[in-house]
Amino acid sequence: MLKIGDFARLSQVPVKTLRYYDDLGLITAAHVDSFTGYRYYSVEQLPRLYRLLALKDLGFSLEQIARILNEGITHEQLRGMLMFKRAEAEVRLKEEQDRMARIEARLRNIELEDNVPDYDVALKTIQPILVAACRIRIPANDMVPALLGRAFTETYDHIRAHGGKELEPCMALWHTTADTYTDEDAEAVVPISRGLPESDRVKVYELAGGTFASAVHHGDFAEFTQLHPALLRWIEANSYRIAGPSREVYVQHDTREPQNSVTEVQYPVEKG
Amino acid sequence: MLKIGDFARLSQVPVKTLRYYDDLGLITAAHVDSFTGYRYYSVEQLPRLYRLLALKDLGFSLEQIARILNEGITHEQLRGMLMFKRAEAEVRLKEEQDRMARIEARLRNIELEDNVPDYDVALKTIQPILVAACRIRIPANDMVPALLGRAFTETYDHIRAHGGKELEPCMALWHTTADTYTDEDAEAVVPISRGLPESDRVKVYELAGGTFASAVHHGDFAEFTQLHPALLRWIEANSYRIAGPSREVYVQHDTREPQNSVTEVQYPVEKG
DNA sequence: CTTGACTCTCCCGCTGCGGGAGACCGTAGA
DNA sequence: TCTACGGTCTCCCGCAGCGGGAGAGTCAAG
């Protein structure tokens, strides 16, 4: 019979841990002095303890180990649990690899450019919403504000003319890529609460949801175009694929105080 | 100004989490109504929140993020922290890979042999100890008990003859591999508390410590030889290398009750 | 008999929240 | 104007697997 300290030295498991396992009923002391409360272990309990450690090493929780050790598990069940654990380990492995890739990307990013406007990209899932939208062609880049503004006005007018109600926030969809500066294909989109009749210019449909890579800019409106390259780099670095038109969400926009405007750019992405 | 629920919907971060970040001073609500206690957020706080999420994704703890966000960190410092994080991620990555390998090995083990005596192998570090030891040659396998027994007797006699004191437990070192059955090279080793003179047959030295793969057998002494192949398979499967003679530690050994004997087999190993 | 090393049982703390209780608060419909 | 109902507030507990420490009792050697 060994005192807990001896058993701890023998097994290389801390005393605290042995007591914890005893409390959980994993490795119950072979004998407990009913007067002093001292735990006494037998060397014959070593195999069980090592089995516990081996299972812990494989990634099982103490609760699962308790079931395996106490309710003598069959061979086939153990195989099933191991395969499940393998799947879990694969997921964690992939997570770690992705994290590594993100860190690497960030480090490369820092080394490439000394100035770090460095927008932070988040992955988010967005629900589908009902919208009214007006799609337009913009021949030259300097006409974007005027033409897009007119498209929004047109859409808002249409909504009100049919007794609809617009929701916040409005957004622009870009069907041409960010490096297109002539003949751009854009869409002024306004979320609405319920269905409306369409017109020749203003369409009503459900804007698809899904997974989006998103980044937010706060401050002068003109600068936020840097968001697009930042997002594209992130998508590239994290091996996603662009799965549709990008969105510029005008979370807060006040033409009189442009330094307070907040814009979110979203790219729909798929793994791959 | 947004109520916490609106800000939560906008950012896709749960309300509970936002409150938690507020408590920690990570994302303090832009305004708190001093009467109702309601938190009001501004959309301009979105970039900070996304920066937080990005840093969390990279593996930083909230405490570290607090330092990065609040005490505006320099470019160079961030680079250092990222490289540190990369090192940490590499370690975790390797751990996961090792765990995967262990699970795979275990699964293969199960498929190979239907009977699962299945000893559980643990990695432990062992401290160097002072020993008295008698090394012998054993011509044939069936002479092991007799010759090894005589070597132990010789060693114990030597210790007592010089007024020394033996410690528990004694062990045998095997300088020939486990699949050697003729002309085996073994050593009866007894730990002692302090130095002794040597003799022609009994040597006194410090037995090296290090990392050992260890497994324990409880029960009939004859069966425990299965431990060796089990350990060798484990060492192979986990890509370790044997770094010296194996040890059989007689943790508990009673010739009158062999079913109660407990034996631990240890192989010194190195990574690689 | 005394010391010093062990051992016992609480209880708190860690991380990053989630769940729930009980009490306000705010707004839209009858 | 009253009344729902949903949003928000502040606690407090729980999680997994122990580690640290307090305060009290035990054991073995000198």
pLDDT 10s digits, A1-36: 899 999 999 899 999 999 999 999 999 999 999 999
Whole-angstrom Cα distance, residue B122 to residue B93? 21
* pLDDT given for residue B115 in this prediction: 54
CB contact under 8 A, B251 and A10: yes
The closest alpha carbon to A78, from B231, B114, B233, B218, belongs to B114
CB contact under 8 A, B122 and A53: yes
Whole-angstrom Cα distance, residue B239 to residue B233? 10
Whole-angstrom Cα distance, residue B66 to residue B20? 13
The dihedral formed by the CA atoms of A5, A9, A14 and A17, expressed in degrees to the nearest 10: -70
Whole-angstrom Cα distance, residue B263 to residue B225? 10
Whole-angstrom Cα distance, residue B231 to residue B119? 8
Closest alpha carbon to C1' of C9, residue: A37
Q: Is A81 on the interface with B (CB under 8 A)?
A: no
Whole-angstrom Cα distance, residue B218 to residue B224? 8
The closest alpha carbon to A55, from B174, B103, B123, B80, belongs to B103
Q: Which two tokens stand for residue A180?
A: 């297109």
pLDDT over 60 at A116, yes or no: no
- Identify the weakest region by mean pLDDT among A157-166, A200-209, B53-62: A157-166
- H/E element, B47: helix B46-57
Q: Is the pTM of this model over 0.85?
A: no
Span B237-264, average pLDDT: 84
pLDDT over 80 at A256, yes or no: no
Q: How far is the CA of A243 from the C1' of D14 (A)?
A: 41
Span B133-153, average pLDDT: 91
Contact yes or no for B64/B73 (Cβ under 8 A): no
* pLDDT given for residue B234 in this prediction: 85
Residue reference for tokens 């957020």 = B41
Assign B147 a pLDDT band (cuts: 50, 70, 90): very high
Q: How far is the CA of B162 from the C1' of C26 (A)?
A: 92
* pLDDT given for residue A114 in this prediction: 58
Q: Is A53 on the interface with B (CB under 8 A)?
A: yes
Nucleotides of C strand lying within 7 Å of any protein CB atom: 6-9, 15-19, 24-26
Whole-angstrom Cα distance, residue B196 to residue B211? 27
Strand D at less than 7 A from CB of A56: yes
Residue of B nearest to A169 (CA): B10
The pLDDT tens digits for A63-109 are 999 999 888 777 788 888 999 999 999 999 999 998 998 898 888 87
* pLDDT given for residue B222 in this prediction: 63
pLDDT over 90 at B168, yes or no: no
Question: A125: number of CA atoms within 13 Å, CB side?
Answer: 2
Q: Is B43 on the interface with A (CB under 8 A)?
A: yes
Per-residue DSSP letter, A13 = -
CB contact under 8 A, B252 and A121: no
pLDDT over 90 at B150, yes or no: yes
Query: Who among B46, B55, B96 is closest to A96 (CB)?
Result: B96
Whole-angstrom Cα distance, residue B60 to residue B75? 16
Q: Is B51 on the interface with A (CB under 8 A)?
A: yes
| A32 DSSP β-pair partners | A39
Contact yes or no for B205/B132 (Cβ under 8 A): no
* pLDDT given for residue A153 in this prediction: 93
* pLDDT given for residue B64 in this prediction: 92
**What is the distance of C-alpha B213 from the center of its chain?**
9
Strand C at less than 7 A from CB of A181: no
pLDDT over 60 at A144, yes or no: yes
Contact yes or no for B215/B264 (Cβ under 8 A): yes
A83 CB neighbours in chain B (<8 A) are 107
In a mutational test of the B interface, the residue from A43, A121, A234 whose CB has the highest number of chain B CBs within 10 Å is A43
Contact yes or no for B240/B272 (Cβ under 8 A): yes
Contact yes or no for B167/B130 (Cβ under 8 A): no
**A:B CB pairs within 8 Å:** 142
- Identify the weakest region by mean pLDDT among A149-158, B106-115, B167-176: B106-115
A216 CB neighbours in chain B (<8 A) are 46-47, 50
CB contact under 8 A, B54 and A78: no
Contact yes or no for B270/B241 (Cβ under 8 A): yes
The closest alpha carbon to B160, from B136, B190, B181, belongs to B190
- From A120's Cα to the closest Cα of chain B, the distance in A is 5
* pLDDT given for residue A174 in this prediction: 95
